[in-house]
Amino acid sequence: MKKILDRAFLDSIAQKFGDAFYLLEPSVFMENYKELKDAFQLYYPRCNIAYSYKTNYTPTLVSMVEMLGGYAEVVSDMEMEVAIKSKVKPNHIIWNGPVKNMKKVEELLLAGGTVNVDSVIEYEQIKKLADSNKNTTFSIGIRCNYDVGDGVLSRFGFDVEGKDFDGTLRSIQLSSNIKLISLHAHFAKRLPEYWTARAEGMLKVYDYVLHTYGIQVDRLDIGGGIYGKMHEKLSKQLGVHSATFADYASRAAKLFKEHFEGVENKPWLFIEPGSALVGDCVRFVCRVKSIKEIRGKVIATTIGSQKNISMSGINPPIEIVDGGGDREAVTDADIVGFTCIENDVLQKNYSGKLGVGDYLIIENCGSYSLVMKPPFILPNFAVLNIDNDEVEVIKRAECFDDLFCTFSF
């Protein structure tokens, strides 16, 4: 149950942390995590979650995933460092992505982590590392690229019908210390109907690798791209109609159950959710600073920005809380950000009461918000945990020195 945000509560936060801040509820994240995992395990018990760090790598959340027995899905050495600092076990780290720092790749492989290889060039680099560390077994995965009928030609991974895929499998087959433990895939479209082809394609690749090369992998990772819980106003704009975790599970995990019925050594099914877990556990709050009228259009400017929420082109679900000042009824007002960008609009055509000092609360701000906010015009704001009676600072507000320390003056 999300905390109700009234004026007294918001005033108490604003007095300490300023007029804009993110409010995080880790309990909502945990509820989403358990619900999604349960939906998939209902069909296929050997299922686990590798949380997508790029979506939101707040340490409080990634530590929670580790505590729940999940894995870290990272796409850079920066994200890997977040995992390590958050005390995630190296063998719970899966490194994806098309470009990797080979020095850090070697460190992770030596520590027992998994690297999903994106190209034959990357595989050759890892093979050289393995040849230099003959007494250590390197655990790798291969990112598989196949058609799921979504109309997108993905640029990632190996074409499973190409010569590089077979050549890499032959090399692994002959290697004494490279172990293929995972086949991995991820696709752009999030709608549940594409997950049937995603699962079918992965099972076909698994059978091919097993029967052609005798390699039995431990994990089949079919990636992320799952819509989570969201306000009806947001789902309508995204064209998502009542997609539930059960919808995804019935199209993917159910196929795994049928495919491996009676098989003794079943592989693990991994999924890599991000937004599905973190989207609705963060709200962004900012105050109205000015209200004016330009050629008949009411413009209300806030101390927040589109850059804080990463929802360009979307009219996000909002709530306005009376800030204690004079208020008037407005019609079709645009509530805009503090930047000098014309299209920095947080809410178009708002109608209702509004006043300077009011709080604008924007829902579903957990995905690609904190991690994508650049130091543009102003540093970013504090992130606060409001699960408990005492508000906890998860990330302090950035200051000028945080930004200026990288420059030479």
| Domain limits for position 41 | 27-278
Are 320 and 360 contacting, i.e. CB atoms less than 8 angstroms apart?
yes
Same domain, 355 and 310: yes
Same domain, 173 and 301: no
pLDDT tens-digit series, residues 318-377: 999 999 999 999 999 999 999 999 999 999 999 999 999 999 999 999 999 999 998 899
Q: Could you tell me the end-to-end alpha-carbon distance of the chain, in angstroms, rounded to an integer? A: 49
CA distance 286 to 116: 40
Same domain, 168 and 182: yes
Same domain, 238 and 270: yes
**Are β-strands 93-95 and 114-117 bridged in parallel, bridged antiparallel, or unpaired?**
parallel
- State the alpha helices, DSSP H only, in 42-119: 59-67, 77-85, 102-111
Are 54 and 367 contacting, i.e. CB atoms less than 8 angstroms apart?
no
pLDDT tens-digit series, residues 90-121: 999 999 999 999 999 999 999 999 999 999 99
- What are the C-alpha distances in Å from 75 to residues 42, 52, 108, 212? 29, 9, 13, 30
* Tokens linked to 138: 């390197």
Q: Report the CATH number at residue 187.
A: 3.20.20.10
* Whole-number pLDDT of residue 1: 64
| Domain-located, residue 2 | no
Site of tokens 């007095």: 15
CA angle 166, 172, 175 (to 5 degrees): 145
pLDDT tens-digit series, residues 189-221: 899 999 999 999 999 999 999 999 999 999 999
Same domain, 212 and 65: yes
